[in-house]
Structure 1
Amino acid sequence: MQVSQLRDAKPLLLTDAGDAWDELAEKFATHTADCGKYLHQPLQQGNWGGLAAESAADRLARMQRDLVVAKRELDAVGTVLRACGEEFAAQQGKLANAVADATGAGYHVADDGKVTAPTVDTAGMKPGDVAMMQRDQATRAQGYADRIGDALSAAQKADKEYAAAVKLFTDAANRCAKGDWSVGFVELAKADELNRELLHELGMPDKKGSPGSVQAWWAQLSPSLQAKLIQDYPQEIGNRDGIPAADRDRANRTYLPMLLNSLESEYAGADGDKAKALKDKIDGLQGIKKQLAAEGEPRPYLLGIGSEGKGRAIVSFGNPDTSKNVSAYVPGLNTKLSGHFASADVDRARNVATMANKMYPDTTTASVVWLGYDCPQLDSFSWSATDVMSKDDAKAGAPAYDRFLSGIRATHESGSPHVTAIGHSYGSLTVGQATQQPGGIPADDVVLVGSPGVGVNKASDLGVGAEHVYIGAAENDQVTYLPSPNLLEYVAPGSEYGPKKNWFGTDPADNHFGGHHFAVAPGKDTGLTGLAKGDLPAHSLYFDPDAGGDSLPNIASVVTGHGDRITTTRPR
């Protein structure tokens, strides 16, 4: 490849073409949803039976499947074309900078990339000085040539890779035209690979990179390139710890309708448990969409969304990068991305921010609900449900939560916000496991409510100091009384002989655990029947401004750094 070829290329035409393919893909998504809503599902749910009905249903199902495949293929084509354009633009920029530096220093750049040093009148110079000057010129010329050569080589390599990727889609189109609509996993995987390669080429740290390294990388990009990456890679940018909250919010608001369209297209052709799981995620995202559109303060920020596992969502009320205080609440048992999460759990985060701003108007507070892991699921309490009996989900979620909190510190404008980790129910175990990560949890205070145990024996084991641990346990919250699976370890509440052991370690509400214990309304007692049926009103009152008594004001005091103002209560 010649210098002039890369210099005069118009890579933005490729990104524009990618955008056009995306628009076409969205039309296919609409057709897929319409096919399911108006044709396939009414036929399945109607009273028409017999061979003709079965044949029609089968053909409509295949048509719907083909539309889903086509939409995925079109999405991937758009991805490849955009990635190609941005790769060429990146190398074009590197070439332009190298050429400008060379010519600015008086060096000549040939079209083949060769760099020639300027002619210098050496009359009157000593031979040794001439030799030294020539060596310096040769070194500098080689440096410019290497930079130019690297850009040309990278562009040449990208040209071959993207041409091969486009051929994959051309072959796929020919295959589909002949009636073979088998899913093109090879093409889709190639598109994802090129996506990752481009971000890597631009210097984005890999997934093992710290939030601090991500923040440093993002800060050195130009505003125009940041805006382009937010538009073209909203999923990657919006869900990366270390990207500023305002940019994550913009990226995820861009990604939200894309994710919804994708899930709705998939739902149109699904049934059974898969359809139910997809419907939960769709309802959850629709609910979050309504929360984002609602007026009022504090303003919501969408810091993460995804369809992995049981769904992912991170919503903050208030900007965590500019607020003096930041709390991050981890929900627990039975939480998943659903309509209930979008209302109940998201509202809990809003309630914390609202109460904190009401009680302490002289400071600023951002309150986050963090669903960045899979919580155990139960339709009702059952000892056969091994997921809730295990620490596995909490251990799996702890590193991600720890990294999120590190990201809060990395992007904060002052670098030193007051951070409170809040864990409710099984989420308190996740917070507890996060405190055991290498380096400890990047939080100033820890709040545990409705906890069945946090995996440690004492408040001091959480790594923030027992004086910075706060516990709330409603008198009638059955979850806080779940005994250790080893009955030999059980000690009655209030016993002087040792700490009471819950399912996941010492009961945080026990007087042997340590920390500060704050007042909470007792809640309704539904007894063992409620425990068996999952009817646990006392387990859900901690963030309720009415039913929770002093619980929410106490949480707000801790979150704002006024833990000395909580209404205390005697431990068990």
Structure 2
Amino acid sequence: MVSIGEIREWDLGALDSLVTALTRRADTLTELDAQLGSIGELNGWEGDAGDAARRDFVRVRDDVTDKAAAVGAVRRLAIDTESSVEALKGALSEADYLASSYRFEIRPDNTVADLITDRSGLSAEELSDHDRMKVELTDRVEQIVRTGTDIETDAEKVLRAAADGKIDDRGASTAEEAARAGEDQGRLSRLDPPADGSPADNSAWWRALTDEQRAEILEQHPAMVGNLDGIPAAARNEANLALLETEEARLQQVARELQKELDDNFFGGAFSNADAGLAQTNEKLAALDAIRDQMLDGYGQPRDDRQLLLLDMTGEFPKAAVAHGDVDTADHVAVFVGGTGGTVADKPNEGNDLPTYVEQTGWLKAETEEQLKRAGRGEETVATIAWMGYEPPSNLAQASSPHYAVDNAPKLQDFLNGVDTSRTDDPRMTAIGHSYGSLVTSEALQHGTGVDAAVFMGSPGLDAEDGDVFGVPQMNLPSGEAYLLKAEEDFVGSQVAGTGWFGPNPDGMEGLTRLSTNEGMIPAHGDFPGESRKASTGHSEYTHGDTMSQYNQAIIVAGLPQELLVR
């Protein structure tokens, strides 16, 4: 295993010089081979002596092609190693930057040293953030070392094969052909993502790949990265868009096979699961239709302002996440989590499906941009994400079981941390949970994320597991950055929350700021006059456009707490 200290000492300049020298050597061998071929014809020299001389020239040329193959292999190794080491050093520089920003040091022996000796002056939130970063840095170092070790191991194998004369020219008749044959034997292998890797593991693995390796994955193995938390949003979007057609063809084939099974069965689906399987498969095909409608324009081309960050047709429930804006560069990122009964497939008039959530998160993005503009910060950018990456309960009876939140919260936690670790800068990130989604969000935050603010809307309660000591501090949020929206006539946010079935009632919870959902006027700003906003009533109007609820969400996403209208 290599060390961070050794990786720091790897010399890109020496590798570049080696590539240049080997290129010259390959050119020399090609020229020599051509000369030997011309001379070796020995035109005019007939008889046994001439034939023997020609055989000697053939042996010399065979030796030249063998050497050309070896040079080709080592030259390719040097080229690949140079680009791989450059990418690896970039990943290490990124980790060093994060370490310095959070007062850590990555040591030559692969350890992450904490430079804070006195933690007494740090708040609980700062300590949580600091400790979370140490785990992230440790994962990053692990993947950098893993990649560096793979590079070194591959290089040793190629060099040993070249030294032992085991690079095969594969029957090449010229030095040029032999060099090409050698190149194929000198390439570095590419590591797959770490098994069950954390978002930081995945981010470091991706960062340590060369541009060529990333392009190969996106073109040939998109399923490898489309749903991998920690990978940049642009790459996930490209991979998942490429999988739309593939997934549709696969599911259509499954549907045909299940339908044939039903057609051939005298009892229909009475004694098999084929009928249930067909219904489930058709639901997934409907989900793909909904995703395609959100991601492609009328000409079948990808929409410039959308990113498909999750496309998962495994399990019983289709899962997806669609973003408005560029998650890789936005100054402000908001992640919306829906609740009970939510589906990816379009369910007209139900208001809890992916098309509705994508539309409403688009409104939230526009509102946030408008409020930033009114505050004189119009140059700042926003991305909003509709995340449907878990299997929600389908009704209130199922929702009474805490396992839907407890089991699915790690998925949301990884997604939130994936957005964070895929970037070297630190966007303001807001988690917004509606109904049962607020419970999932609360549970994810309790496990540690990079979230800066959280909004809970129509919440039935905020703690999935009974008996825990729970309050706002357990959600690891900066002080004052937890908010509640509870509309008039919201049965879930009032009556259900009051039962305690889902943990403490958030209404009145210390440290949780309750915001207005009433009709009213938002403040004037300079040349921008005050504007009226509508009330939200019931359980399903929190995300409607032109409402006070939407305004307050936008203010939180923008990081403008002084403009909030509290209840």
Equivalent residue, structure 1, for 2:472: 459
Can you list the C-alpha shifts for 1:142-191, whole angstroms capped at 9, x where unaligned?
xxxxxx9xx89x99xxxxxxxxxxxxxxxxxxxxxxxxxxxxxxxxxxxx
- Tell me whether 1:365 sits opposite 2:382 in the alignment: yes
Question: Following TM superposition, by how much is the alpha carbon of 1:227 offset from its aligned partner in structure 2, in angstroms?
Answer: 1.1
Equivalent residue, structure 1, for 2:232: 244
SS of the equivalent of 2:516 reads coil
Question: Pick from 187, 197, 200: which aligns with 1:212?
Answer: 200
Rate the CA distance shift 1:267–1:203 in 2: closer, same or farther, 3 A: closer
Question: Pick from 515, 520, 528: which aligns with 1:518?
Answer: 515
SS of the equivalent of 2:508 reads coil
- Tell me whether 1:475 sits opposite 2:475 in the alignment: no
- Tell me whether 1:287 sits opposite 2:299 in the alignment: no
SS of the equivalent of 1:540 reads coil
SS of the equivalent of 1:354 reads helix
Rate the CA distance shift 1:93–1:505 in 2: closer, same or farther, 3 A: closer
Contact 2:240/2:308 (CA < 8 Å) preserved in 1?
Answer: yes
Q: Which ranges of 4 or more aligned residues in structure 1 deviate by more than 4 Å? A: 2-8, 92-103, 295-298
Question: Following TM superposition, by how much is the alpha carbon of 1:562 offset from its aligned partner in structure 2, in angstroms?
Answer: 1.2
Equivalent residue, structure 1, for 2:553: 555
Equivalent residue, structure 1, for 2:354: 342
Question: Following TM superposition, by how much is the alpha carbon of 1:112 offset from its aligned partner in structure 2, in angstroms?
Answer: 3.0
Q: Name the CA distance, whole Å, in 1 between partners of 2:382 and 2:500.
A: 33
- Tell me whether 1:429 sits opposite 2:439 in the alignment: yes
SS of the equivalent of 2:431 reads strand
Equivalent residue, structure 2, for 1:566: 564
SS of the equivalent of 2:437 reads helix
Q: Name the CA distance, whole Å, in 1 between partners of 2:472 and 2:164.
A: 69
Q: Which amino acid aligns with 1:368?
A: I
Q: Name the CA distance, whole Å, in 2 between partners of 1:394 and 1:95.
A: 44
Q: Name the CA distance, whole Å, in 2 between partners of 1:454 and 1:96.
A: 51
Question: Following TM superposition, by how much is the alpha carbon of 1:441 offset from its aligned partner in structure 2, in angstroms?
Answer: 2.5
Contact 1:320/1:412 (CA < 8 Å) preserved in 2?
Answer: no
Q: Name the CA distance, whole Å, in 2 between partners of 1:461 and 1:261.
A: 45
Equivalent residue, structure 2, for 1:55: none
SS of the equivalent of 2:446 reads coil
Question: Pick from 248, 260, 268: which aligns with 2:256?
Answer: 268
Question: Following TM superposition, by how much is the alpha carbon of 1:110 offset from its aligned partner in structure 2, in angstroms?
Answer: 3.1
Q: Name the CA distance, whole Å, in 2 between partners of 1:448 and 1:5.
A: 64
TM-score using structure 2 length: 0.58
Count of paired positions: 361
Can you list the C-alpha shifts for 1:46-80, whole angstroms capped at 9, x where unaligned?
xxxxxxxxxxxxxxxxxxxxxxxxxxxxxxxxxxx
Question: Following TM superposition, by how much is the alpha carbon of 1:466 offset from its aligned partner in structure 2, in angstroms?
Answer: 5.0
Question: Pick from 158, 163, 168: which aligns with 1:109?
Answer: 163
Question: Pick from 280, 304, 308: which aligns with 1:302?
Answer: 308
Question: Following TM superposition, by how much is the alpha carbon of 1:460 offset from its aligned partner in structure 2, in angstroms?
Answer: 3.1
Q: Which amino acid aligns with 1:553?
A: Y
Q: Name the CA distance, whole Å, in 2 between partners of 1:267 and 1:471.
A: 44
Question: Following TM superposition, by how much is the alpha carbon of 1:213 offset from its aligned partner in structure 2, in angstroms?
Answer: 2.3
Equivalent residue, structure 2, for 1:67: none
Identical counterparts, % of pairs: 26
Question: Following TM superposition, by how much is the alpha carbon of 1:267 offset from its aligned partner in structure 2, in angstroms?
Answer: 2.1
Question: Following TM superposition, by how much is the alpha carbon of 1:348 offset from its aligned partner in structure 2, in angstroms?
Answer: 2.4
Question: Pick from 412, 429, 437: which aligns with 1:401?
Answer: 412
Contact 1:330/1:427 (CA < 8 Å) preserved in 2?
Answer: yes
Q: Name the CA distance, whole Å, in 1 between partners of 2:71 and 2:242.
A: 31
Contact 1:373/1:396 (CA < 8 Å) preserved in 2?
Answer: no
Q: Which amino acid aligns with 1:202?
A: L
TM-score using structure 1 length: 0.57
Question: Following TM superposition, by how much is the alpha carbon of 1:320 offset from its aligned partner in structure 2, in angstroms?
Answer: 1.3
Question: Following TM superposition, by how much is the alpha carbon of 1:512 offset from its aligned partner in structure 2, in angstroms?
Answer: 3.8
Name whichever of 313-322 and 263-272 sits farther off.
263-272
The CA RMSD measured in Å over matched residues stands at 3.5
Equivalent residue, structure 2, for 1:120: none
- Tell me whether 1:329 sits opposite 2:339 in the alignment: no
Rate the CA distance shift 1:220–1:507 in 2: closer, same or farther, 3 A: same
Q: Name the CA distance, whole Å, in 2 between partners of 1:113 and 1:267.
A: 50
Q: Which amino acid aligns with 1:543?
A: T
Equivalent residue, structure 1, for 2:145: none
Q: Name the CA distance, whole Å, in 2 between partners of 1:559 and 1:396.
A: 27
- Tell me whether 1:392 sits opposite 2:403 in the alignment: yes
Contact 2:343/2:354 (CA < 8 Å) preserved in 1?
Answer: no
Contact 1:506/1:513 (CA < 8 Å) preserved in 2?
Answer: no
Question: Following TM superposition, by how much is the alpha carbon of 1:111 offset from its aligned partner in structure 2, in angstroms?
Answer: 2.0
Rate the CA distance shift 1:390–1:256 in 2: closer, same or farther, 3 A: same
Rate the CA distance shift 1:480–1:95 in 2: closer, same or farther, 3 A: closer
Q: Name the CA distance, whole Å, in 2 between partners of 1:434 and 1:252.
A: 25
Q: Name the CA distance, whole Å, in 2 between partners of 1:410 and 1:476.
A: 40
Contact 1:7/1:95 (CA < 8 Å) preserved in 2?
Answer: no
Equivalent residue, structure 1, for 2:453: 445
Contact 2:334/2:384 (CA < 8 Å) preserved in 1?
Answer: yes
Question: Following TM superposition, by how much is the alpha carbon of 1:222 offset from its aligned partner in structure 2, in angstroms?
Answer: 1.7
Can you list the C-alpha shifts for 1:124-150, whole angstroms capped at 9, x where unaligned?
xxxxxxxxxxxxxxxxxxxxxxxx9xx
SS of the equivalent of 1:470 reads strand
Q: Name the CA distance, whole Å, in 1 between partners of 2:152 and 2:165.
A: 16
Q: Name the CA distance, whole Å, in 2 between partners of 1:482 and 1:465.
A: 29
Q: Name the CA distance, whole Å, in 2 between partners of 1:263 and 1:425.
A: 31
Question: Following TM superposition, by how much is the alpha carbon of 1:557 offset from its aligned partner in structure 2, in angstroms?
Answer: 0.7
Can you list the C-alpha shifts for 1:422-449, whole angstroms capped at 9, x where unaligned?
1111111101111221xx2320101100
- Tell me whether 1:314 sits opposite 2:326 in the alignment: no
Contact 1:304/1:312 (CA < 8 Å) preserved in 2?
Answer: yes
Q: Which amino acid aligns with 2:422?
A: T
Question: Following TM superposition, by how much is the alpha carbon of 1:371 offset from its aligned partner in structure 2, in angstroms?
Answer: 1.5
Name whichever of 255-264 and 340-349 sits farther off.
340-349
Equivalent residue, structure 1, for 2:393: 376
Contact 2:290/2:344 (CA < 8 Å) preserved in 1?
Answer: no
Q: Which amino acid aligns with 1:418?
A: R
Can you list the C-alpha shifts for 1:352-381, whole angstroms capped at 9, x where unaligned?
212112222411111111112110013xx5
Q: Name the CA distance, whole Å, in 1 between partners of 2:329 and 2:406.
A: 30
Contact 1:482/1:502 (CA < 8 Å) preserved in 2?
Answer: no
Question: Pick from 414, 421, 427: which aligns with 1:410?
Answer: 421
Q: Which amino acid aligns with 2:369?
A: N
Q: Name the CA distance, whole Å, in 2 between partners of 1:347 and 1:284.
A: 16
Q: Name the CA distance, whole Å, in 1 between partners of 2:217 and 2:493.
A: 46
Q: Name the CA distance, whole Å, in 1 between partners of 2:304 and 2:154.
A: 45
Q: Name the CA distance, whole Å, in 1 between partners of 2:382 and 2:303.
A: 12
Question: Following TM superposition, by how much is the alpha carbon of 1:331 offset from its aligned partner in structure 2, in angstroms?
Answer: 0.9
Q: Which amino acid aligns with 1:475?
A: E
Q: Name the CA distance, whole Å, in 1 between partners of 2:194 and 2:292.
A: 30
Equivalent residue, structure 1, for 2:134: none
Q: Which amino acid aligns with 1:279?
A: N
Q: Name the CA distance, whole Å, in 2 between partners of 1:410 and 1:483.
A: 36
Equivalent residue, structure 2, for 1:61: none
Rate the CA distance shift 1:331–1:483 in 2: closer, same or farther, 3 A: closer
Equivalent residue, structure 2, for 1:87: none
Contact 2:222/2:240 (CA < 8 Å) preserved in 1?
Answer: yes
Equivalent residue, structure 1, for 2:221: 233
Question: Following TM superposition, by how much is the alpha carbon of 1:398 offset from its aligned partner in structure 2, in angstroms?
Answer: 1.0
